[in-house]
Amino acid sequence: MAQLKEYIPVVGQSIIDELYLLAERLEGKTIQTVNSTAVGGGVAEILNCMVPLITELGVDMYWDLIKGGENFFNVTKKFHNALHGRPEKITDEMLDIFMETSMHNVNNMKMNGDIIVIHDPQPIVLIKNKLPDAKWIWRCHIDVSNPDRKLWRFLKQFIMQYDGCIFSAPVFSQRLADTETGREVDQFLISPSIDPLSTKNKEIPQETIDAVLEKYNINKDKPIVSQISRYDYLKDPVGVIEAYKLVKRYIDCQLVLAGNVASDDPEHDKVFSEVSEHAGADPDIHPLVIDPAHNDIEINALQRASSVVVQKSLKEGFALTVTEALWKARPVVASAVGGIPLQITNGYSGILTRTIEGTARGIRQILQSPEYAKRLGENGREHIKNNFLITRHIRDYLLLFLTAYHKGDVIDLSYRGNSGNS
Amino acid sequence: MSQPFYFYTGLSLVELTGREARNLQDLLLGIESLPGSSIYYHTHRFLLQHHYMSSEPQNDFAFWITDVLQEDLLGERIASVDIMQFACIRDLRERFIEIIEDFLKEGKELRMAPQGEEFHFMKCRTYMLPTHHEAHNLEQFAEVLQQVSRHSLYFHIFEAKLRLEKEMNDFSCWLETSLGEKELADEIARLDPYTYTLEGLRKTIYSLIQKRIQQKAG
């Protein structure tokens, strides 16, 4: 696990100094954060990186997990899809299953932080344990721009009890006002981030990349188009295959689809089998399931080996896979959904699309124009460096924690009591 | 003994208001009624997020009017508002209102933003913090200027003037009042910081200070 000083060559001394300045103002406060899985998926990845770094800054932060069985996670997966706007019938029985496990967690988890950050719907009911002085924040990583209304109403009864909510993109913002009291839940925009020093994102030697390609029988001399994502309908892996087939008419290339399995994702096997069926006998399509033990280094290698990285999602929370690819200066073709437009300015730091045909066109443009591809990649990397690395994410969280104790639009945290310069 | 310059930094957290606009009338309503921190955010966001990319940033209102509503003429009018000429957010807000109202008086049919491309009103909460840097003379000031974060530079140049409603940016104020460097202070105050990238601005100010140091050394 990297230490803060190791980020100085990446982001600069002054950025790290600012984190310490903020952390000093949180002395004596305890931060507790809760989600549903320790491994797999973007949330666990961020917390694995963020919690130790915030602790190193001198802020007391700890991370807890809720417990749940297969039925519970099957239901929360349906919640996930329904919140993303995908047709799912949310039954009363599902809500009962959700509440039963949730109440078990409510009764068995100790919630004693000064500030408590709850991630996504799975642990949302823990708010029932709210003590009067504690500040509770619900962190929503999902695209809730068009949620299933029944489910949203159900969750809203809990959301309204929080002091604040965090969303990943402006379009996810909701009206969160109590019609009777007029009280509004504060909403914050905090984009997720990647860790530039993690195994998944650090520089790696060409030999490592070649070894991974060899392991999966991928031809290193033929352009690689890849989508690195869980096998999930919302990532539209079948749509990626269709786009690849349109490209293949003109350009001899390969398609790599690579994903791992998160412990809270019961849909994986079904989607993977549909993808394999669509891939058919084409030897240039490589649907891969990455062994969790080697996931990070192999994903890193596959992204770096790619001529184009695709993210053809139908819905997205933020799409950290896009962030990872841009950080590696890869040209990216991605759907204009969720947080992706925050990361890509079309034609400047990547290509935004809305259809299979548009995705295919973007891939062809990049494969046929190496100079253009290089420019997109370089601009993308610079944008990620300035806005979507873990150091910016930590700064936003520290600022968020401070909102619990300071009101107003411009807040002077000077020990001198004023801006010091007349 | 002159007062040292204490370098501060300004760090902002973005807040979502839950308010959105689908047409110009909605946008006008938002500009009229939302807090000043919203107007400030939508006219300055680009500077920090894309500070490396280009100078002359467009404000969010102009971008949305042009790109989504495709009202190019109005978009250009809003983009061309010279923020440097405004002493406070209140006046800037009034100018935007005036321009949009004039446009609406023409009675053109209101264009609607396609679904998913609505304007989302946001605002920012800014924390001012002293850094550990201070300068007692021009030489020290030049040295520290190269070390502080872009947030610090941004705070002293943009936030100090428009948001804290000071007469001029912090650098010019200190150079004039504490060091008696009126000419240098005026030179920096005359720069239009909105037409620089932040690093470009840092280099320009540094060069002006170096020039003055050399001039003094004779």
Q: Does B88 touch chain A (CB under 8 A)?
A: no
Q: Does A420 touch chain B (CB under 8 A)?
A: yes
Residue A407 lies in a domain: yes
Residues A379 and A404 in one domain: no
Residue A41: the pLDDT is 72
Question: How far is B38 from chain A, CA to nearest CA, in Å?
Answer: 10
Residues A396 and A310 in one domain: no
pLDDT higher than threshold 50 for residue A416? no
Residues A239 and A319 in one domain: yes
Q: Do B149 and A177 touch (CB under 8 A)?
A: no
Q: Does B122 touch chain A (CB under 8 A)?
A: yes
Residue A146: the pLDDT is 87
CB < 8 Å to B160, chain A = 419, 421
Residues A182 and A47 in one domain: yes
A338: left (phi over 0), alpha (psi -120 to 50) or beta: left
Residue A198 lies in a domain: no
Q: Do A18 and B129 touch (CB under 8 A)?
A: yes
Residues A78 and A116 in one domain: yes
Its domain, for residue A261, covers 206-386
Low-confidence ranges of chain B (pLDDT < 50): 55
Q: What is the pLDDT of residues A171-208, one digit of tens each?
A: 888 888 888 888 889 999 999 899 999 999 999 999 99
Q: Do B16 and A396 touch (CB under 8 A)?
A: no
User: What is the CB neighbour count within 10 angstroms for residue B143?
Assistant: 13
User: What is the CB neighbour count within 10 angstroms for residue A182?
Assistant: 7
Residues A365 and A290 in one domain: yes
ipTM: 0.92
CATH number at residue A231: 3.40.50.2000
Residue A417: the pLDDT is 42
pLDDT higher than threshold 90 for residue A150? yes
Residue A114 lies in a domain: yes
Q: Does B163 touch chain A (CB under 8 A)?
A: yes
Q: What is the pLDDT of residues A28-80, one digit of tens each?
A: 999 999 999 888 777 888 899 999 999 999 999 999 999 999 999 999 999 99
Q: Does A178 touch chain B (CB under 8 A)?
A: no
| CA pair distance A255, A312, nearest whole angstrom | 13
Q: Does B215 touch chain A (CB under 8 A)?
A: no
| CA pair distance B101, A45, nearest whole angstrom | 49
Residues A180 and A275 in one domain: no
Residue A200 lies in a domain: no
Count of domains for chain A: 2
Q: pTM of this prediction?
A: 0.88
Q: Do A402 and B147 touch (CB under 8 A)?
A: no
Residues A354 and A399 in one domain: no
Strand order across the B5-21 sheet: A60-65, A30-35, A115-119, A135-139, A164-167, A186-189, B5-21, B119-135, A410-412
Q: Do B14 and A422 touch (CB under 8 A)?
A: no
Residues A370 and A283 in one domain: yes
Q: Do B49 and A421 touch (CB under 8 A)?
A: no
| CA pair distance A6, A276, nearest whole angstrom | 41
Residues A379 and A393 in one domain: no
Residue A421 lies in a domain: no
Residue B146: the pLDDT is 96
Residues A167 and A93 in one domain: yes
Residue A284 lies in a domain: yes
Q: What is the pLDDT of residues A341-374, one digit of tens each?
A: 889 988 889 999 999 999 999 999 999 999 999 9
Residues A14 and A153 in one domain: yes
How confident is the prediction for chain A on average, in pLDDT?
92
Q: Which amino acid, one-letter code, is at A363?
A: I
Question: Between these two residues, A180 and A415, which has the higher pLDDT value?
Answer: A180
CB < 8 Å to B125, chain A = 399, 403, 408-411
